Structure 1
Amino acid sequence: MSMMELAAEIVAVAQAIDKAGFCPSKSGNVSARTEAGFLITPSGLPYAQTTPEDLIELSLDGAVLSGARKPSSEWPFHLAIYKARPEAQAIVHTHSPRATALSATRRGIPAFHYMIALCGGADVRCAEYATFGTPELAENAVRALEGRKAVLLANHGVIALGASLAGAHQIVAEVENLAGQYLDILATGLEPVILDEAEMARVSAKFAGYGKVG
């Protein structure tokens, strides 16, 4: 895939999450790994107006390699995740409504449904709070993502990583779905029955043989 083809795919994912209502007030960002570092969406530009030429390539040292615009303010956690997770080829970050609401409670999503396994483990953790765009937020995200493909950011939103842009997109959409279901359960005053580790291991094994997930 050429750099322009990759950029076009990033823009398509960014516009899809925006149309889904996951990026209020120009929030959220999308990136993909490149040979020299990663390509990321720009800061402050509405996704409907974003073109492949607007993207910025950064090195894994944080240097701008190409692009005239300012990169997303959240580039530090993209960089930190790519450095910590060699298998990650793409990252999607959203402020999707229900997952963001759950993140404000500073609780993660337990294994109340087997689809949690899509996110890489037996739960989706909630990372400790830090100001957006800071090294502290990047460190907290990487820590909470250990052994996982998705994380809630306290009082902030969601990060999902994948072996492809399509995979990361699928995961971030599923986190929003699961967060909404979990909030609906909690609103009843009840607590869900949580699937045990053995069942989640069985589900993960079945997912591994069910095509490429994430």
Structure 2
Amino acid sequence: MTRASPLPDTTATRQALIEACLWMNDRHLNQGKSGNISARLDGGILITPSGVRYEDLTPDAMVTIPLSGLPPCAGPKPSSEWPFHQGMHQARPDMPVVLHAHPPYCSVLAVQRRSIPACHYMIAAFGGHDVPLADYALFGSPALCANMAQIMADRHGCLMANHGATVLGETIDKACWRLEELETLARTYLYSSIGGEAHILTDAEIAEVMVAFQSYGPRNTDNTRE
């Protein structure tokens, strides 16, 4: 697993995380202040604070926590989901951005405790033949952290039982793109059951797509956008 370069702890990075939160709500991929986002820094993690409206966030309000161990007692509280963000950054050094939200269609599947099979070739954008479902555990708990680390070892996104969804990103923009793509896949999968049943692509067909993604798009740019 290749270790990605950390993001710089600058005002621009902090503002970009805030803009991602505002974008989630504007795109109806999240509601209120329930989602959270983090970025791996050189020696730490930058994460949204607990219980603050996105519209009220400022760069100075973002919280820095260590890559392991407890957050500092002084200063703003980090998101209540900081344990699994910390776990994701430890388990996936190739993905410096972690984005969590409660997208409506993803949440429907999550409360039904259903993963998303290979109903569409864009499933391959999540690292495998499906988008898996992490077992339920209390938000912010060590159990949820362990569940997420296990299920996301070889995936770039997952659903969370009776909760929502989480995606990983090589950049902030890529994480946002992946979250919207995941919600589109969840909607497609749910709607496909209305008039019949989705035909599921084989593992070999998904593997073919993953290889094709490596050379898709203009040179030296994001190669998974259509």
Asked if these proteins are the same fold (TM beyond 0.5), I'd say: yes
Query: Structure 1 vs Structure 2: percent identity of aligned residues?
Result: 38
State the 1:67 CA deviation: 8.1
List structure 1 runs of 4+ shifted beyond 4 angstroms: none
In the TM superposition, what whole-angstrom CA distance separates every residue of 1:182-202 from its partner, at most 9, and x where no partner exists? 1111233x3211111111111
In structure 2, what residue type is equivalent to 1:20?
A: R
Kindly provide the amino acid, as one letter, of the partner of residue 112 in structure 1: C
**What TM-score do the two structures reach when normalised by structure 1?**
0.94
Q: Which runs of 5+ in 1 are unaligned?
A: none
TM-score, normalization by structure 2: 0.89
Q: Which position in structure 1 is the counterpart of 2:54?
A: 47
Secondary structure in 2 matching 1:187:
coil
Unaligned runs of 5+ in 2: 1-7
Contact 1:185 1:192 survives alignment (8 Å): yes
Change (3 A) 1:38 1:156: same
Contact 1:56 1:69 in 2 (8 A): yes
Q: What is the 5 A alignment of 1:154-173? A: 154-173=161-180
1:213–1:29 CA distance, 2 compared to 1 (3 A): farther
Larger deviation, residues 169-178 vs 65-74: 65-74
Q: Residue 142 of structure 2 corresponds to which residue in structure 1?
A: 135
Tell me which protein shows more helix as a share of its residues: 1
Instruction: Name the SS for the 1:104 alignment partner.
Output: helix
Pairing 1:34-73 to 2, within 5 Å after superposition: 34-64=41-71, 68-73=75-80
User: 1:62 deviation in Å?
Assistant: 3.5
Give the 5 Å matches for 1:169-208: 169-188=176-195, 190-208=196-214
Q: Cα deviation per residue 1:50-81 (whole Å; 9 max; x = unaligned)?
A: 11111001101244369831110000000001
Question: How many residues align structurally?
Answer: 213
Q: Which amino acid aligns with 1:125?
A: P
For residues 173 and 9 of structure 2, what CA distance do their matches in structure 1 show?
A: 17
